């Protein structure tokens, strides 16, 4: 599978993987304005997301294999890898299964463990939205507001809404395939370890990386550190972009 991507800047490669129901566009501003000054940045759309191809197969190994193929296609022998949420789990899986490819690993607000399937209400709302009746983005937002009260979450989700004159409004992502894989996406990762330099960044107002997760993180990523962005929630990079970028750049450029 050939993943859709955007490329920015020059230098040592940095691959960025978005989270569940996200896309490469979530990382556009940080990539263009900050990371591209230091790295050759690639933001990828993972399978079934954004403008990448769709597939019923959506295990973490499937997604990691897509990233391996991308690296080979672009002749990237070794690269920095950053992943947020689901993308963070893909990044951890890649690091433990293909450690020779990874220079530095950055995992944003996710641990190795299983998570409750608390996005179900979001899938329900998206899958029950009658797109044929949607007349505008504002109309779609209004219809979703009955089930999804958070304005930032709706704005994030509506970035997946596409429009053309022939077909009207459609979802870019493949909701059915993602939903069918959701229980696997929520599962804990397989066993494995990565000895390379690793940074975990968590939001201080998020419950995705708890103090109780730290022993397992250090067991599987012994050369890791954990940094907290106080006041930020799960979308750390969008809620506190400047502080997030400072922490990540300090880590990635250390000893360089």
Catalytic residue among 85, 186, 206, 224: 85
Q: Whose structure tokens read 């930020």?
A: 232
Closest CA to 90 of 172, 31, 18: 18
Give the burial class of 225: count Cβ atoms within 10 A of its Cβ; 0-12 exposed, 13-18 middle, 19 or more buried: middle
Beta bridge partners of 40: 13
Q: Phi-psi region for residue 48, left (φ > 0), alpha (ψ -120 to 50) or beta? A: left
Contacts of 181 (CB under 8 A, 6+ apart): 48, 58, 59
Q: Please indicate whether residue 176 is annotated as part of the active site.
A: yes
Measuring CA to CA, how many Å separate 169 from each of 135, 146, 163? Answer: 8, 19, 4
CA-based radius of gyration for the chain: 18
Catalytic residue among 141, 176, 187, 213: 176
Task: DSSP letter for 190, please.
Answer: P
Measuring CA to CA, how many Å separate 103 from each of 68, 121, 203? Answer: 14, 38, 24
Q: Please indicate whether residue 85 is annotated as part of the active site.
A: yes
d(CA 47, CA 57): 9
Catalytic residue among 18, 119, 234, 237: 234
Contacts of 71 (CB under 8 A, 6+ apart): 15, 79, 101
Q: Residue 67 in contact with residue 15, Cβ under 8 Å?
A: yes
Active site residues: 85, 176, 234
């Amino acid at each position: 599978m050939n993943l859709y991507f955007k490329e920015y800047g020059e230098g040592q490669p940095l691959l960025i993987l978005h989270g569940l129901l996200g896309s490469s566009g979530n990382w556009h501003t940080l990539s263009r304005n900050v990371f591209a000054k230091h790295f050759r940045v690639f933001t990828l759309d993972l399978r079934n997301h954004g403008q990448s191809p769709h597939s019923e197969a959506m295990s973490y190994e499937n997604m990691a294999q897509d990233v391996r193929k991308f690296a080979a296609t672009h002749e990237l022998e070794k690269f920095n890898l950053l992943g947020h949420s689901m993308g963070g789990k893909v990044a951890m899986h890649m690091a433990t299964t293909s450690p020779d490819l990874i220079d530095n690993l950055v995992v944003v607000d996710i641990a190795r463990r299983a998570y409750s399937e608390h996005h179900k209400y979001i899938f329900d709302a998206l899958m029950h939205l009658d797109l044929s009746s949607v007349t505008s983005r504002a109309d779609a937002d209004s219809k979703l507001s009955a089930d999804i009260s958070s304005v930032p979450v709706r704005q994030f989700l509506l970035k997946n809404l596409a429009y053309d004159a022939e077909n009207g409004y459609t979802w870019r992502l493949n909701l059915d395939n993602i939903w069918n894989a959701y229980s696997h996406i929520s599962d804990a990762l397989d066993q494995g370890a990565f000895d390379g330099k690793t940074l975990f960044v968590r939001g201080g107002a998020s419950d995705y990386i708890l103090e109780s997760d730290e022993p397992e993180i250090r067991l599987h990523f012994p050369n890791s550190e954990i940094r907290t962005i106080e006041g930020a929630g799960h979308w750390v990079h969008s809620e506190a972009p400047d502080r997030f970028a400072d922490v990540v750049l300090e880590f990635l450029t250390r000893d360089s």
